[in-house]
């Protein structure tokens, strides 16, 4: 099983990845959520991110309980990625 965490300083985001991003509020996910099986392949890598990485860590752990085996959380969130890797991304 993949580690639920990865360091944002090791991440590069190719332009093609941006086309594959899907945004879902964590509050919309629930037990046995059919949306997951129709929108995502549990066998493919799934990256989860939020502002500071805490809510996405909860979602990453939950996804693993739903059968997703290659789940990664952006440790420190989008904020850490912006400050450590890509300062052109605005922070707040």
CATH of the domain at 66: 3.40.250.10
| 88 domain-assigned | yes
Q: Kindly report, residue by residue over 1-29, the tens digit of the pLDDT.
A: 444 455 555 544 444 344 466 766 666 66
What range defines the domain where residue 87 resides? 1-10+36-92
Q: Kindly report, residue by residue over 23-70, the tens digit of the pLDDT.
A: 666 666 666 666 666 777 888 888 888 889 888 898 888 888 888 888
| 70 domain-assigned | yes
| 15 domain-assigned | no
pLDDT value at residue 60:
87
18 is catalytic: no
Residue of 11, 48, 49, 50 with catalytic role: 50
Distance CA 81, CA 29 (A): 25
| 26 domain-assigned | no
pTM of the model: 0.67
How many domains does the chain divide into? 1
Return the structure tokens found at 26.
């964590």
pLDDT value at residue 35:
67
| 54 domain-assigned | yes
């Amino acid at each position: 099983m993949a580690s639920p965490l990865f360091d944002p300083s090791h991440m590069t985001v190719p332009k093609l990845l941006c086309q594959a991003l899907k945004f879902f509020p964590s509050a919309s996910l629930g037990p046995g959520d059919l949306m997951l099986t129709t929108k995502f392949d549990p066998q493919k890598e799934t990256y989860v991110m939020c502002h500071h990485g805490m809510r996405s860590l909860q979602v990453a752990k939950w996804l693993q309980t739903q059968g997703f085996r290659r789940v990664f959380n952006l440790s420190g969130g989008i904020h850490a990625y912006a400050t450590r890797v890509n300062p052109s991304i605005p922070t707040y």
